Homo-oligomer: A and B are copies of this chain.
Amino acid sequence: MLTTFELSVRFFLQLAFILGVCRLCGWLARLIHQPQVVGEMIAGVVMGPSLLGLLFPAAQGWLFPEQSKAILFAVSQVGLALYMFLVGVELRSELLRARARSAAAVSVAGMVTPFLLGAAIGLWLIREPGMFGPKVDPFEAGLFVGAAMAITAFPMLARIIYERGLTGTSLGTLALAAGAIDDGAAWCVLAVVVASLDHNWIVAAKAIGGGAAYALVVLTVGRKLLAPLGARAEADGTIREPMLVFVLGLVMLGAWYTDVIGIYAVFGAFILGVAMPKGFFAQDLQRKIEPLTVALLLPLFFTYSGLNTRLDLVDTPQLWLVALVVLAAACLGKGGACWAAARWHGEDNRSALAIGALMNARGLMELIILNIGLQRGIISTTFFSIMVVMAIVTTLMAAPLFEWVYGRHARRQGLLGREQLD
């Protein structure tokens, strides 16, 4: 057992090591035209049991002892909440109004289609041995795989949109809004699965009712109450410390509340960000919170999940076949359906393809939902690993696919901001 002091000393070293490896992997990722954030995700896998732990098990165990995981996780969550808050702060809702119908259509299509395909896969695989837990019935299996397929990598989406210079564009705003809705909805479905397993429907009511109430109150009453902060900050010429502390306290409270009701901190922090005053206030907030969040805290989130990922469990041709089916269903259901919905609502083909490419990334939200499924005994480690393969492949596809179908053309026409490749 390490003491509190020893854990804090080790934490300094972990931070230095994580920052170094993330930078290195980010640099390598950009060599193959992947965004920095994919590098950070890979950095996690590199530092985890799949590579560092395989080559130097003693060193890996010393650097990342079991006890320290709680610290890494808690800090990574704070970083993630702050980041998603900023994504909300930057969301230009006036851009959204013009495309509200597209956003709604894309998010509904991007939820329902992969959910149905996922449910079908769940109903098929529950008959195979070794995929689900013994107490899981077909209804629950279908619901769980449906929810897992329907998830969007909301933080990853936000990062890619930033790195590709899409922030503040109409397309980026549309994808973010659709991603946020899908994200909230997928957690509600997960709550239904958990409720069904526990035969306790209060869980589901809390998540769905509590989440809807939160979004409603924050975006109406909350927005009104927060508006004077903007005028005050403008008059002062800066957001002074007490106001910053107040805002940060609200972010933590919102993140805590949405975590407690079961729809995850990301959602609470994002919605609060959307409700914040825009203009000078939003810019100054970003100036003050973003540097340390992005440079120090956020990499922890993108690496933490990698630390817990094992890639060596998908090891027979049959399992690889299942993995291929899952992957195809995931891409068709999410990317394909979002493209179709966007086209249907009048987006041009390139924009629709871009939206499909971005929404298709599952990223680490997928890993979170899968870990819950594993912990609760819903899915086996084998099926867990198949889904992890799907999550990684869809995430790796996102940025190059986006560049190919949209980025390079749009950049040529000056429709995109500068790539944030520093």
Contacts and interface: CB of A to CB of B under 8 A. Distances in A.
B73 A4 contact: yes
Given A241-B294, A422-B240, A73 B23 contact: no
Interface residues of A, number: 51
Interface stretch (A95-103, A126-134, A254-262, A323-331): A254-262
Interface in A5-64: 5, 7-9, 11-13, 15-16, 19-20, 22-23
A264 to B, nearest CB: 10
A155 to B, nearest CB: 15
Contact of A295 (B22, B67, B241, B250): B241
Interface in A236-281: 240-242, 244-246, 248-250, 252-253, 255-256, 259-260, 265
A74 interface: yes
Interface string A81-106: 11000000000000000000000000
Contacts of A227: none
B256 A422 contact: no
A70 B252 contact: no
Given A70-B71, A248-B296, A260 B9 contact: yes
Interface stretch (A173-181, A215-223, A285-293, A313-321): A285-293
Contacts of A74: 4, 7-8, 11, 71, 75
B70 A7 contact: yes
A394 interface: no
B81 A12 contact: yes
A69 interface: yes
Contact of A256 (B16, B78, B82, B249): B16
Contacts of A81: 12
A260 to B, nearest CB: 6
A107 interface: no
A77 interface: yes
Contact of A73 (B5, B241, B293): B5
Given A7-B70, A13-B252, A71-B71, 6 more contacts: A8-B77, A9-B259, A15-B78, A15-B249, A19-B249, A82-B292
9 contacts: A4-B69, A5-B73, A12-B256, A12-B259, A16-B250, A23-B242, A23-B246, A244-B295, A248-B292
Interface of A: 4-5, 7-9, 11-13, 15-16, 19-20, 22-23, 67, 69-71, 73-75, 77-78, 81-82, 240-242, 244-246, 248-250, 252-253, 255-256, 259-260, 265, 287-289, 291-296, 422
